[in-house]
Structures are given as C-alpha cells and as structure tokens.
Amino acid sequence: MTAHLIDFYAGWQRHNELLMKDIAPLDAEQLDWTAADGLWSVRRLANHIIANRAWWFNAYMGEGGEELARFEDFDDVEGADKNDASQVVEGLNSTWASVAACLNKWTEEDLAERFQRPTPNREGERPWRTRQYIVWHVAEHDVHHAGEISLTLGMHGAPGLDM
C-alpha cells in the first residue's frame, strides 16, 4: 500500500487547528500585540503564514487553483493589517485545506519533482526546488512563525499553542 505525504505530516494539521483556535477569539488590539517594538504583530505573522503557503504551493508548484492563489499576497495587500480574527482564521483554514489536499494525493515518488521559481529572487535568479524541499520549507516556516505567535500571546498573558 502506498503511503501519502499526509501520513508523515499528520502533526501539521493539528498545529494549524491549534493556531486557528488561539487566533479566533482575539480582538483587534490583541491581534496587534508584538513581542517587542519593531517586531511583527500576531496578525502580521499569521497573515505571513497564509501568504507563504499560497505562494509556495500555488505560485511555485501550481497547486490549489484560484482558491489558493487569492492568498498569495495576503500579508502585503492593502488592508491586510486590518484583517480581523475571522479573516485570519479563514485564511489559515482555506490554505491548510489546499495544502492537505496536496499532501493527501502526493506519495514519496512525487517528492523528487522539481519546480523553478516563477519570478526572480533578490539576486535575479530563478532557482529550482524539489517538492520535498518546498513541503519541508513551508512546514518549518509555519512552525517557526506560529512559535513567534505563541510566544507573543504568552508574553501578553494569553494562552499560546498547546502542543
């Protein structure tokens, strides 16, 4: 029987559920909390997680269609700094659904497929990346920034992600 990638990334779904649970009750002031002056707010970090998933899975690998593409600039669009908790949670939920759909269909054999960056990076290059690199990069990016969110919430006396 062929294992799908979701079998190896099962904790990622739980991680996303906890992130949504912790963000859902936050009001505008709480979404603007930061760990220190000059650092990103809870809202900005969550918006960035959403945009990162969409960019790597949709723009880089062509997955998720318009449903995922609409989130590619979720952290850069005008007004993103005003997204309320329900908009952020909807973005986390929707982008996770697209990621999970991919992980449910891909197997180990799919990990070696290569994709070229759709636009040049800061150095003007368009590097190639394997699906394995992209999936891991997005997963670790989620964990990193959700950790920042959890730390920020805890610094302000709110519960963080209870893994």
* Residues 52, 143: Cα–Cα separation, whole Å: 12
| Residue 162 counted as domain residue | no
Say if residue 119's pLDDT is above 80: yes
Q: Which domain holds residue 47?
A: 5-155
pLDDT tens, residue by residue, 42-72: 999 999 999 999 999 999 999 999 999 999 9
Say if residue 77's pLDDT is above 80: no
Report which of 160, 72, 152 is spatially closest to residue 64, judged by C-alpha positions: 72
| Residue 20 counted as domain residue | yes
Q: What is the mean pLDDT of residues 34-38?
A: 96
pTM of the model: 0.95
Domain count, the chain: 1
Q: What CATH number is given to the structural domain containing 142? A: 1.20.120.450
| Residue 161 counted as domain residue | no
Q: Is residue 141 within 8 Å of 18, Cβ to Cβ?
A: no
Report which of 123, 141, 157 is spatially closest to residue 56, judged by C-alpha positions: 141
| Residue 163 counted as domain residue | no
Q: What is the mean pLDDT of residues 82-95?
A: 96
Q: Is residue 23 within 8 Å of 42, Cβ to Cβ?
A: yes
Phi-psi region of 63 (alpha: psi -120 to 50; beta: other; left: phi over 0): beta
* Residues 155, 140: Cα–Cα separation, whole Å: 22
